[in-house]
Chain A
């Protein structure tokens, strides 16, 4: 199965700063079949990005996704206080579907 490694494990930033989160795959992800989710404590995940770079409905344009092959990035251009959460990447190009271990974005 494809293993997704997210880095960093935890990142501390201030509101207004830019966040860059990485997701690296153990092998090529077919057709850029990668999604990003945001999860806050006690809540279920929220889809942000699919197909590596497509924003889901209702997601602010400060969230953007990029990358291909084995290296993918989620960028939050200017952090809002509501953006501090755990972020998960997920690949669906090859069965089984797999998730990364998550990156915690905390307020500095």
Chain B
């Protein structure tokens, strides 16, 4: 079964750091671009970051709201994508999901999603 499972969320104080993980299974992880999204309670979806597969350069892109604070990386040997979140703000409170891009880098739509990991930033 093709699956993504996120972990690493929790309650964290403003200004602190947290690293989220997204583990894939049931597919060749290294062949796919991956992204992180977030959804604040009662709000819409927000794209956070993307990392391309290494055959397509392994490049990263970020939303403006997180660009200087968050870093996305991947370890294809472990089938894991990471989101390192530094200097967290209360506005970062949300459910964080990872998503798999459609194959071949032609469409940046997301056909597999994880169930999410909740990040709460509060003092």
Residues of A within 8 A of B (CB): 33, 35, 37, 43-47, 50-51, 56-57, 88, 90, 92, 95-102
Q: Evaluate whether A44 and B46 lie within 8 angstroms (CB atoms) in the complex, with A90-B109, A95-B61 already known.
A: no
Q: Which residue from A33, A45, A88, A100 sits with its C-beta under 8 Å from B107?
A: A33
Minimum distance in angstroms from A10 CB to a CB of chain B: 14
Q: Which of B7-15, B73-81, B84-92, B113-121 touches A?
A: B113-121
Given the known A-B contacts A95-B61, A99-B47, are A44 and B108 also in contact in the complex, defined by CB atoms under 8 Å?
A: no
Interface string of B10-49 (1 = CB under 8 A from A): 0000000000000000000000000100000000111100
Q: Cα distance A97–B46 when bound, in Å?
A: 8
CB distance from B34 to the nearest CB of A (A): 13
Distance of A8 from chain B, by nearest CB (Å): 15
Complex interface: chain A residues within 8 A of B45 (CB): 37, 45, 88, 90, 99, 102
Pairwise interchain contact B107-A101, C-beta atoms closer than 8 A: no
Contact (Cβ within 8 A) B109 A44: no
Of A44, A51, A88, the residue contacting B44 (CB under 8 A) is A88
Say whether B114 contacts A98, CB under 8 Å: no
Which B residues have a C-beta under 8 Å from some C-beta of A?
35, 44-47, 50, 61, 63-64, 97, 102, 107-111, 113-116
Let me know if B44 and A47 touch, CB within 8 A: no
CB-CB < 8 A to B97: which residues of A? 44-45
A-B contact count (CB 8 A): 54
CA distance A77 to B113 in the complex (A): 26
Query: Can you list 10 A-B pairs with a CB-CB distance of less than 8 A?
Result: A35-B107, A35-B110, A37-B45, A47-B109, A57-B111, A88-B45, A95-B61, A96-B64, A97-B47, A97-B108
A44-B113, A44-B116, A45-B113 given as contacts; is B44 within 8 A of A92 (CB)? no
Complex contact A50–B107 (CB within 8 A): yes
State the Cβ distance, A58 to closest chain B Cβ, in Å. Answer: 10
Whether A50 pairs with B102 at a CB distance below 8 angstroms is yes
